[in-house]
């Protein structure tokens, strides 16, 4: 099973930016899609952004025009660039890799949102 390691969470000022990284232990192009999900206390895990093997992206309405997902195949890493962070962005962010309906998850990284 692929190992996914998220890094990049941390404190940020109101309206600030953060970049999350997800390093995969396998070639990321082996997966149908990779994405970022988040879960706030008391809420269900929700999709934030995903990118499929063809490079097509999907974003939650709440983050469109603020977040951007990208990838670096040479590093087997997927990124989530977040701008204009809001208090409602506070959550644990999880990296996801999906292939043949099988999902793998990272351990999560805390994004406090605006300070």
Worst-scoring range by mean pLDDT, 33-37, 69-73, 85-89, 109-113?
109-113
The band of 78, judged by pLDDT with boundaries at 50, 70 and 90, is very high
Residue 115 clears pLDDT 50, i.e. is over it: no
CA distance 36 to 64: 13
Tokens 């309206």 — which residue? Answer: 15
Euclidean distance between the first and the last CA atom of the chain, given in angstroms as a whole number:
36
> Collapsing DSSP states into helix, strand and coil, what is residue 39?
strand
């Amino acid at each position: 099973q692929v190992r996914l390691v998220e890094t990049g969470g941390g404190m940020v000022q109101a309206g600030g930016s953060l970049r999350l990284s997800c390093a995969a232990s396998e070639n990321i192009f082996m997966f149908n899609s990779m994405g970022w999900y988040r879960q706030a206390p008391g809420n269900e895990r929700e999709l934030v952004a995903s990118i499929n093997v063809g490079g097509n992206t999907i974003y939650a309405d709440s983050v469109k025009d603020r977040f951007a997902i990208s990838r670096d195949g040479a590093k087997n890493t997927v990124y989530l660039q977040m701008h204009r962070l809001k208090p409602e962005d506070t959550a644990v962010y999880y990296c996801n890799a999906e292939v043949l309906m099988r999902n793998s998850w990272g351990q999560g990284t805390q994004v406090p949102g605006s300070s």
